[in-house]
């Protein structure tokens, strides 16, 4: 497992440590993020500590109930020797504010894979879980997800330096204005642009194509996994609960027996315990599902980056095409040949050719345009190259993070399964108590 001081030989002793709980495992992921040591995280500790229900009037002046989450900021070394930790700075945020922050980040850093938020509505639910946003279990899991989101942003070496993010954590009131003031909404690419880019790009970067494909595959397979997992949970719930029926009938049966009575009671009691244990087991498994969901939503972010790249590439190609066209026009003008059909060319043929002045003014206009075009292409090229290098750096970082996190998640899932097996039929305990109480 990941420890604070890496490289120590103590780690070897951790092999086979199956007693680690899944929350501990999750904490290990958080520890990794803190380790990365962004300057932000070196200064402060971030928690989403609580959730509370509020009622208020919404934008259409109707009463609504919503949940707010308490963000706590503490200075990093706040626990002094033998002293109590300093009181944190706190503010309340609701989910929609988190969404706003994220949209801002998406637009402002299109070359970064922006961490996802926990789901807006409960999906992939098995039957006992409620899909209600106000359900306390859902709220709790969302709280954890929001904290995770903040920590991921805070541990990203680019994102953690963003001013708006900092204000999100520190300025309760004025934040909304500050975000809107950045004018980020104007930078949002239109859907139409993205789609046409996707369809018409001529030289897509192979790496990005592969990445997009991988991301789509991952999205499909994780969705499928979450769906099947929910069905498995449902069925398992059924198996456990039906066993509970044994409890009552064994108890009734024990009433008519003399020697066997105690043994049967004990068996019945055990069945009840068994049947009841499934609730906690499945609740814990939701943790695992949440970890998978995070990466499911991450695929959307990856896709965004790929699409942005496509768009840039497309724009570059357009600019190059435009430049090539203009150059050709100049050539035609210079050599007097009309290779490309143009209305002007046609009309001048039909209505007489232009004067020398006209030609020269046109030529200089085109040359001007060509200059601009060359600059545009260079700009786009640089933009594109910068984008590609920045994006690819983040992609590599993401890949590593993904591999590490998911592996951790799988380990903690396995550990969960082990603890479930251990607790369910405490073998010797049941057997001996049954034998002992079962007299002839």
Q: Which residues bind another protein (CB under 8 A)?
A: 1-2, 6-7, 11-12, 14-18, 214, 217-218, 221-222, 224-225, 228-229, 231-232, 234-236, 238-239, 242-243, 245-246, 249, 252-253, 256, 258-260, 263, 267, 403, 406-407, 410-411, 413-415, 417-418, 421-422, 424-425, 427, 430-431, 434-435, 438-440
Q: In the complex, what is the shortest distance from the CB of residue 167 to another protein, in angstroms, rounded to a whole number?
A: 35
Backbone angles phi, psi at 49, to 5 degrees: -85, -40
Residue (86 or 239) nearer to another protein, CB: 239
Smallest distance from the beta carbon of 235 to another protein, in angstroms?
4
The least distance separating another protein from the CB of residue 227, rounded to whole angstroms, comes to 9
CB of 30 to another protein, least distance (A): 17
Number of C-alpha atoms within 13 angstroms, CB side, residue 72? 14
Minimum distance, C-beta of residue 426 to another protein, in the bound complex (Å):
9
Q: Which is nearer to another protein, 1 or 198 (CB)?
A: 1
The smaller minimum CB distance to another protein, of residues 252 and 375, is found at: 252
Distance (Å, rounded) from C-alpha 437 to C-alpha 431? 10
Of 60 and 255, nearer to another protein (C-beta) is 255
Rg of the chain over Cα atoms, rounded to whole angstroms, equals 31
Q: 109 near 83, Cβ under 8 Å?
A: no
DSSP sequence for 303-340: HHHHHHHHHHHHHHHHHHHHHHHHHHHHHHHHH----S
- The C-alpha atoms of residue 23 and residue 141 are separated, in whole angstroms, by 12
Nearest approach, Cβ of 436 to another protein (angstroms)? 10
CB atoms within 10 A of CB 215: 20
Whichever of 66 and 438 has its CB closer to another protein, that residue is: 438
Q: C-beta of 58: minimal distance to another protein in Å?
A: 40
Taking the least distance from each CB to another protein, the nearer of 224 and 328 is 224
Shortest CA distance to 50 belongs to which of 35, 71, 64?
71
CB-nearer residue toward another protein: 330 or 404? 404
Residue whose CB is less far from another protein, 108 or 251: 251
Query: For residue 409, which of 286, 232, 281, 230 has the smallest C-alpha distance?
Result: 286
Residue closer to another protein by CB (options 6, 59) is 6
- The dihedrals phi and psi of 91, each to the nearest 5 degrees, come to -155, 160
**Can you tell me which residue has the tokens 């006992």?**
128
CB 216 within 8 Å of CB 302? no
Could you tell me the smallest distance in angstroms from the CB atom of residue 41 to another protein? Answer: 20
DSSP per residue over 30-82, as a string? Answer: HHHHHHT--HHHHHEEEEEEEEEEEEEE-TTS-EEEEEEEEEEEEETT---TT
Tell me how far, at minimum, the Cβ of 150 lies from another protein, in Å.
26
Rank residues 45 and 294 by Cβ distance to another protein and give the closer one. 294
Minimal distance, residue 341 CB to another protein, in Å = 49
Kind and range of the H or E element at 91?
strand 89-94
Planar angle of CA 15, 17, 19, nearest 5 degrees:
175
The residue among 417, 365, 398, 61 whose CA lies nearest residue 218 is 398
The contacts found for 178-184 with CB under 8 angstroms, 24 or more apart, are 179/100, 179/101, 179/104, 182/104, 182/108, 184/103, 184/104, 184/107, 184/108
CB of 10 to another protein, least distance (A): 10
Name the one residue in this structure whose structure tokens are 């949940």.
Answer: 67
d(CA 165, CA 161): 8
Collapsing DSSP states into helix, strand and coil, what is residue 18? coil
């Amino acid at each position: 497992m990941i420890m604070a001081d890496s490289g120590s030989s103590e780690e070897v002793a951790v092999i086979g440590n199956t007693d680690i709980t899944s929350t501990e495992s999750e904490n290990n992921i958080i520890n990794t993020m803190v380790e990365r040591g962004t300057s932000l995280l070196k200064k402060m500790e971030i928690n989403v500590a609580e959730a509370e229900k509020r009622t208020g009037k919404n934008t259409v002046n109707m009463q609504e109930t919503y949940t707010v989450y308490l963000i706590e900021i503490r200075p990093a070394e706040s626990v002094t020797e033998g002293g109590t930790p300093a009181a944190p700075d706190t503010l309340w945020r609701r989910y929609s504010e988190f969404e706003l922050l994220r949209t801002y980040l998406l637009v402002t850093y299109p070359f970064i894979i922006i961490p996802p938020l926990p789901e807006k509505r409960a999906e992939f639910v098995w039957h006992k879980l409620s899909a209600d946003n106000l359900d306390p279990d859902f709220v709790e899991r969302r709280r954890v997800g929001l904290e995770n989101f903040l920590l991921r942003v805070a541990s990203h070496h680019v994102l953690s330096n963003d001013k708006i993010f900092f204000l999100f954590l520190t300025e309760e009131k004025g934040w909304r204005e500050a975000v809107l003031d950045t004018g980020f909404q104007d930078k949002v690419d239109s859907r139409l642009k993205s789609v046409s880019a996707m369809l018409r790009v001529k030289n897509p970067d192979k790496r990005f194509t592969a990445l997009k494909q991988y991301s789509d595959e991952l999205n499909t397979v994780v969705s499928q996994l979450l769906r099947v997992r929910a069905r498995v949970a449902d069925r398992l719930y059924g198996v456990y609960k039906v066993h509970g029926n044994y409890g009552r009938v064994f108890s009734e049966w024990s009433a008519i027996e003399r020697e066997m009575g105690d043994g049967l009671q004990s068996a019945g009691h055990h069945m009840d315990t068994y049947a009841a244990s499934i609730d906690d087991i499945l609740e814990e498994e939701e943790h695992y599902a949440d970890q998978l969901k995070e990466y499911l939503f991450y695929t959307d972010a990856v896709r965004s980056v790929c699409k942005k790249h496509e768009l840039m590439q497309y724009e570059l190609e357009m600019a190059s095409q435009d430049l090539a066209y203009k150059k050709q026009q100049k050539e035609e003008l210079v050599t007097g040949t009309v290779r490309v059909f143009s209305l002007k060319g046609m009309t001048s043929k039909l209505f007489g050719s232009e004067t020398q002045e006209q030609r020269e003014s046109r030529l200089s206009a085109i040359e001007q345009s060509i200059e601009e075009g060359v600059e545009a292409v260079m700009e786009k090229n640089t933009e594109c190259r910068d984008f590609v290098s920045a994006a690819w750096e983040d992609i590599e970082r993401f890949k590593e993070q993904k591999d590490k996190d998911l592996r951790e998640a799988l380990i903690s899932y396995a550990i969960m399964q082990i603890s479930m097996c251990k607790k369910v039929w405490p073998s010797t305990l049941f057997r001996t108590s049954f034998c002992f109480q079962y007299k002839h």
